[in-house]
Amino acid sequence: MAMDASSKKTISSLKNYFLLAMPRLNDPNFAQSVVYICEHSVDGAMGLIINQQLDIPAKAIFDQLELSYLDSYGNSLIFDGGPVQRDRGFILHKSSNQQWESTVPIAEDISLTASKDILSDIAQGKGPESALITLGYSSWESGQLEQELAQNSWLTIPADSAIIFDTACAKRADAAASSIGVNLDMLALDAGHA
């Protein structure tokens, strides 16, 4: 689909989509990653990587914030949400009737919260049904993501909360690709062929 100058200002938002890194994407921050897009407008885009776990248990964050926690909730691993503000936490979670200070609904069943009160609830087992605690986030300036898409750096896939919350971390890229009938192994084989 060719873009002429007059259509550049209008973008179709990829909010609530997955971006799957294509083999030709040369950024080590995003190699083999699946990014969930939380916001996308003419001003740019923001998302969280959902398939790159850090070797940091949740209890390290709970301890740092001086939150008391139940052992069973302290062992889950934190996710690397992206290269921006790695000292800041973002919690991607299933939407619920419970509200926290900074909860923003993204899709019918997916919300994003960046306030400490949700971590306190998660530490006590009173948080959302399912949640990914991430450090940092991924962002693109105005037009940057569109440029990367034009270079075929990413495969766009409608998001599915089951892939985020009910699929093992290591299988999320395959599950996202499969949801649109793509086999990741075949993509890797095609890399570099014109």
Residue by residue, pLDDT tens for the chain (194 residues) are: 444 443 344 558 999 999 999 987 878 889 899 999 999 999 999 999 999 999 999 999 999 999 999 988 999 999 999 999 998 999 999 999 988 999 999 999 999 999 999 999 999 999 998 999 999 999 999 999 999 999 989 999 999 999 999 999 999 999 999 999 988 887 765 544 44
In angstroms, the CA 155 to CA 18 distance is: 8
CATH superfamily of 15-190: VC0467-like (3.40.1740.10)
Residue 93's contacts (CB-CB under 8 Å, 6 or more residues apart) are 110, 111, 112, 113, 118, 127, 128, 129, 130, 131, 132
pTM above 0.95, yes or no: no
